[in-house]
Structure 1
Amino acid sequence: MAEQLGLRQRQRLRIEQAIQDAATRLFLRSGFDAVGVNEIAEAAEVSKRTLFKYFPSKEDLVIGAFADHQNEAANVVRDRAAGTDPIDALHAHFLDGLARRDPVTGLDDHPQTLAFVAMVLSVPSLQGRLLLYQTAAEAALTEVLEAVVPAGDDGTARLAAYQIFAVQRALTDENRRHLTAGMSGDARYPEAVAAADRGFAMLRHGLSISG
């Protein structure tokens, strides 16, 4: 029975990935607004009903690419080694992402990745869904940090979570800005690491921008 369930799960993941891959190809070729659901279903060789079973809206076909990362920061803090500071764990995780050229860090210079992100940031409905995704990620991290912050329910955990995500978004946006301008991920990497070190130092020690 366990093997049967595993097979079903693998089949579900294959169908989901096929739909998402077909949608991404069409969106990048023709633009998000120009592609219809029927066209995506046909390209993925599934029925429209099946498509909506996996992705309730056209926006979900895009934002689904971010879904796996929604609880990533919260999981990093929750699963950190005993005695490790949450900021240190998140810093190490971000550096690891840079080394792997994880798209979430903005250091993936594949043309399709850059085009995909540019599309997301250019479509208002996708921007709105991305904001909801970010809010959920901040809420998940806040919940985990509430068990770490000794002051109790005074908003400290939420302030910390929002600041952590703000720093990571700024680092990611800066990396992507350089790559969009033509720099390769390898060329940007040393400064991306240095910028991450500065950003997380600001989280640890507080903001100071005076000369």
Structure 2
Amino acid sequence: MNDEPGLRERKKLRTRAAISAAAIRLFLERGFDAVGVAEVAREAEVSKRTLFAYFPAKEDLVLHRFADHETDAADVVRARPAGQGPLAALREAFLRGLQAREPVTGLCDEPAVLAVFRLVTGTPTLAARLAEFVGAGEVALAAALTEAGVGPLDASLAAAQIVAVRRTLATANMAAVAEGVPAARRLSEAVAAAERAFTLLASGVGFA
């Protein structure tokens, strides 16, 4: 009996993953705008009501993977070890992500990741929805910086710069990989770009 909540949670995660997988499969085959939510529900063998319980908007069927990382930067700032500055923690986390080929860094050449990248960048409604997640992540980062002792205005300005840099780095990496550059070959250039970007940020935001 004690494990029932855990079992229910795992079942929910499996259902969520199955619905998303069915949706992305259909979207990749025929295009995001050509596939309706009802068809996705049929493909996933769930009701529309169940689908919307997991994904309130059609765009979320694809972008929940990005939404799950919405507060990553803020979480890094809050979880940094004592004595480490917020920007240093973010730099370290991004470089670690590059080494691990995390999709959020753009340095991931797994076919499924590339396919979703092309789907999102080629679909205006998905790109617009993604921008909303990025904006929410910026707000969360600004709040974390404020908690770390950065003044509210400086925190907002710094968060905007940091989010823009992370997005620029990730987009450049993914664009290169999408053009056929293996992630392993891109790594040294991606690391150098990240090091340069965070060095410029450190000289501009006023804290390390």
TM-score, length-scaled by structure 2: 0.94
Q: 1:146 is matched with which residue?
A: 146
Any idea what SS the aligned residue of 2:59 has?
A: helix
Q: 2:189 is matched with which residue?
A: 191
Q: 2:158 is matched with which residue?
A: 160
Q: 2:203 is matched with which residue?
A: 205
Q: CA deviation at 1:148?
A: 2.3
Equivalences for residues 106-145 of structure 1 within 5 A: 106-145=106-145
Deviations 1:150-209 (A, max 9, x none): 5x33x10000111101111111111112112211101100111111110110111139xx
Q: Does 1:64 align with 2:64?
A: yes
Q: CA separation in 2, counterparts of 1:112 and 1:3? A: 33
Q: CA deviation at 1:2?
A: 4.2
Q: 2:99 is matched with which residue?
A: 99
Q: CA separation in 2, counterparts of 1:25 and 1:136? A: 28
Identity, % of aligned positions:
51
Q: Does 1:172 align with 2:185?
A: no
Query: After alignment, is 70-79 or 57-66 more displaced?
Result: 57-66
Q: CA deviation at 1:147?
A: 2.1
AA of the residue aligned to 1:198: R
Count, aligned residues? 205
Q: CA deviation at 1:28?
A: 1.1
Q: CA deviation at 1:60?
A: 1.1
Q: 1:29 is matched with which residue?
A: 29
Any idea what SS the aligned residue of 1:70 has?
A: coil
Q: CA separation in 2, counterparts of 1:134 and 1:20? A: 20
Q: CA deviation at 1:112?
A: 2.3
Q: 2:179 is matched with which residue?
A: 181
* 1:101–1:185 Cα contact (<8 Å) kept: yes
AA of the residue aligned to 1:182: G
User: Considering only aligned residues, what root-mean-square deviation do their CA atoms show, in Å?
Assistant: 1.4
Unaligned runs of at least 5 residues, structure 2? none
